[in-house]
Amino acid sequence: MFKSIEASRITISELMLPSHSNFSGKIHGGYILNLMDQIAFACASKHSEAYCVTASVDTVDFLNPIEVGELVTMKASINYVGQTSMVVGIRVESEHIQTGKIKHCNSSYFTMVAKDDNGHKKTVAGIILDQEIEVRRFLKALKRNEMKRKRRDEFDHEDFSHKNYLDDLKNYNVKIVI
């Protein structure tokens, strides 16, 4: 079975309140991450028709601060599906209510895994890619997964030794005293 990306696309908007701000008066990044996790869950659950859990979050770059009183809009869509996992792409924008000026604040990718009623991984429907941008997003997700796998293979094995990388640290602001 295959589903269109449009079938699970979700948009949410929320007015940013003073209670969402950090000590510098900007909206707290943790609050935005919480909203992003919620929309990723909703999008993935809608696609998979199952409960979903967050497996990983990739590339969270806060590009522009969000101010109290701005309207934050998040757009989520499925960018990639595997057997039981989905990559949800999320775009975060803020709008100054009085001027209408819109800022791109963040884009991120959440890997979500579908679960059945017993907590086991559940197979998800494939996606139909009917636009060039959807094909690009799918391919980019594939490449991010491939890079993640390579990083894991290089660093997460028993015989990994920091000694193999000490020369790489010469140009960094670090003093090693071991």
Q: What is the 3-state secondary structure (H, E, C) of 106-130?
A: EEEEEEEEEECCCCCECCCCEEECC
Sheet holding 71-81, edge to edge: 10-15, 71-81, 85-95, 102-115, 51-58
Let me know: does 3 contact 128? Beta carbons within 8 Å.
yes
Q: From the CB of residue 124, how many other CB atoms can be counted at a distance below 10 Å?
A: 24
* Per-residue pLDDT, 155: 84
Position 23 scores a pLDDT of 92
Is the separation of the CB atoms in 80 and 44 below 8 Å? Answer: no
Kindly indicate the confidence band of residue 156, based on its pLDDT and cuts at 50, 70 and 90: confident
Mean pLDDT of 1-8: 96
Contact in structure between 89 and 137 (CB atoms under 8 Å) = yes
Report the percent of the chain where pLDDT is more than 90: 85
Q: What is the mean pLDDT of residues 4-11?
A: 97
Q: What is the mean pLDDT of the chain?
A: 95
pLDDT in tens, 22-55: 999 999 999 999 999 999 999 999 999 999 999 9
Q: What is the pLDDT of residues 107-116, one digit of tens each?
A: 999 999 999 9
| Burial profile 52-62: b = 16 or more Cβ within 10 angstroms, e = fewer | beeeeeeebee
Distances, alpha carbon 19 to alpha carbons 1, 26, 149, 173, in Å: 44, 10, 39, 38
Nearest by Cα to 26 from 63, 78, 1: 63
Percent of the chain with pLDDT over 70: 100
User: What pLDDT is stored for residue 163 in this prediction?
Assistant: 87
Q: What is the pLDDT of residue 177?
A: 86
28 near 20, Cβ under 8 Å?
yes
Reported as a single tens digit per residue, the pLDDT across 122-154 is: 999 999 999 999 999 999 999 999 999 998 888
Say which CATH architecture domain 2-129 belongs to. Answer: Roll (3.10)
Domain boundaries, the chain: 2-129
